[in-house]
Structure formats: C-alpha cells, structure tokens
Amino acid sequence: MSKPEKLLDKKGLRLDGRKLDELRPIKMEVGVLNNADGSAYLEQGKNKVLAAVYGPKEVHPKHLALADRAILRCRYHMAPFSVEERKSPAPSRREIELSKVIREALEPAVFLEYYPRTAIDIFIEILQADGGTRCAGITTAALALADAGVPMRDLVVACAAGKVDGKLALDLMDLEDKYGEADVPLAMMPGINAVTLLQMDGSLTLEEFQKAVKMAMEGCKQIYEMQKKALKAKYVAIKEEIQE
C-alpha cells in the first residue's frame, strides 16, 4: 500500500469515509471455538481477530507455579497471510513485545489469587490486520476470558486515538497509523477508570496527548457496550438452548 496523498478529504472525512471521532464497524461473537475454555471473534474494520483462553490449568514445569495466585500467559500472534507481505510464523520482536503489554493490560482485571498454582493461557491470533490489532486483541481476549468464566474486576477494552493530517482521530486504520503523525493505543477497565495499557509513538504536544487520551477513552466506552451485548447474546442463546 503506497502513501495516499491525503488522509482527510475536504470535508474532513477519512479515507474510509469515517468522521474523526468515529469507530470502524465492529462485530463480535463469543464462544466460537470448541476446544478452548473460552473464545471470541472480533472484526473491527478489516481486522479479524480470534482469541482463546485455556485454564486455569496445571503448570509445567511445576517450579514456575506461584503459591498464592495463578500465572497469566499471553501470546499475540499474526497469521502469515494476515498482512501485505507474508509474515514468517516465528514470533517477531514486535509480537513478543505486544504479547507482554497485552498480558499486562489484562492482568489487572483478573482475580489471579482465586487460582493459586495454576496457569491461565490467552492465545490471540490476528487473522487479518488493518491497524490497531493490539487493541482489537485485548478487546477480544477480554471476551474470551469472560467466556471461560474467569472472574474479573471488569472487562478490559482497548482503542487507539491518534493524529492524522494535523487532526486528532479515533481508531486509526493501517494507512492512518503508518502515514499519520501519532498513535495512542489505550486499554482500560471503564467501570473503575483504570488505564491498563498505554503506549504512544509519533509526536504530540501535551495538550494534544491529553485530548487523544480522552478520545481513546470515549472509543473504549462505546466498544465496552458492544462487549457486554456480545456476552449477553451468548448467554441468551444458551438459555434458549436449555429451555428448548
């Protein structure tokens, strides 16, 4: 994908026709895989993300287990065909860093102390990538954790804001991320105003950054409502199944 001349048109609309503070279309589904203890699927624009949770389960080797709580492990991984140039399936340095920050974004939400000496594994697979996959991964993984019945303080939800052609914009897609001026991915537990992931790259004044954080949080809150709806949909479906 080569660089577009402009990221905003005359009316201030974005390449895909969105307004500056508008999210991409989002679709979520909970409980999509059979073997996992919990799972979820999410589409956000062209991003397609699958997450699965296994656990709480035994830890091997045993000396890695903790006496007073579960260990949370996380792997963020991109399918080789998820991006423009085929990606080697071996984990890249970027994937290793993202696995770490995603784990640390989810960890504050989980009551790990309920399951001493166990492990909870989160696997995130990016099937198609179009910018903002770490945020999409967190949103999806939180649903999978809930689906697995792992007790949490709140759902974790993530969204980025950034700056394109001089304006702050919500939920950047790949071209905006690549050719824009800044990107601020943020994850939070909206119920308790806790920011659990925050990264930034690019260039922003303090004032712009402050606004970008606010914008990302607004995006998070919208997605949070969708998360709750998706979870409800699954349990309604189960209920109907039982009543049939």
Partner 1 sequence: MISSIVSRVKQKQIAQLIAKGIRLDGRKLTDYREIKIEAGIIERAEGSARVLLGKTQVLVGVKIEVGEPFPDVPDQGVLTVNAELVPLASPTFEPGPPDENSIELARVVDRGIRESKAIALEELCIKPGKKVFIIFIDVYVLNHDGNLIDASGLAALAALLNTKMYNYELENDEIVRKPGYTPLPIRNHPVAVTFGKINNQLVVDPWLEEEQVMDARLTITTDKNENICAIQKGGSGYFTTQQILDATKIAKEKAEELRKLVVEP
Interface positions with partner 1 (CB under 8 A): 33-36, 39, 46, 48, 50-52, 54, 57, 66-68, 75, 77, 79-86, 89-91, 93-94, 96-97, 99-101, 104, 107-108, 121, 123, 125, 127-130, 184, 188-189, 193-206, 209-210, 213, 217
Task: Compute CA distances 46 → 7, 34, 104, 116, 183, whole Å.
Answer: 17, 24, 26, 39, 18
Encoded tokens for 189: 């537990």
**Amino acid, single-letter form, for residue 74:** C
Nearer to partner 1, 153 or 229 (CB): 153
Q: Closest CB to partner 1 among 19 and 106?
A: 106
Asked if residue 61 has a cis previous peptide bond (ω within 30° of 0), the answer is: yes
Considering beta carbons, is residue 55 or 231 the nearer one to partner 1? 55
Residue 57 or 232 with smaller CB distance to partner 1: 57
Q: Which is nearer to partner 1, 12 or 92 (CB)?
A: 92
In degrees rounded to 5, what are phi and psi of residue 58? -60, 150
The least CB distance from residue 210 to partner 1, in Å, is 6
- In sequence order, the 6+-apart residues with CB closer than 8 A to the CB of 111 are 150, 151, 152, 153
- Biggest alpha carbon–alpha carbon distance for the chain: 61
Least distance from C-beta 70 to partner 1, angstroms? 12
| Smallest separation (angstroms) from partner 1 to the CB of 9 | 23
| Rounded-to-integer distance, Cα 169 and Cα 132, Å | 13
What is the spatial distance between Cα 142 and Cα 184, in angstroms, rounded to a whole number?
20
| Complex with partner 1: residue 20 or 195, whichever CB lies closer | 195
For the bound state, the minimum distance from the C-beta of residue 118 to partner 1, rounded and expressed in Å, comes to 14
Rounded to whole angstroms, the Cα distance separating 149 from 175 reads: 37
Q: Quote the radius of gyration of the chain (alpha carbons, Å).
A: 18
| Nearest-approach distance from CB 127 to partner 1, in angstroms | 6
Give the Cα separation of 193 and 209 in Å (integer).
18
Q: How far is the CB of 11 from partner 1 (least distance, A)?
A: 26
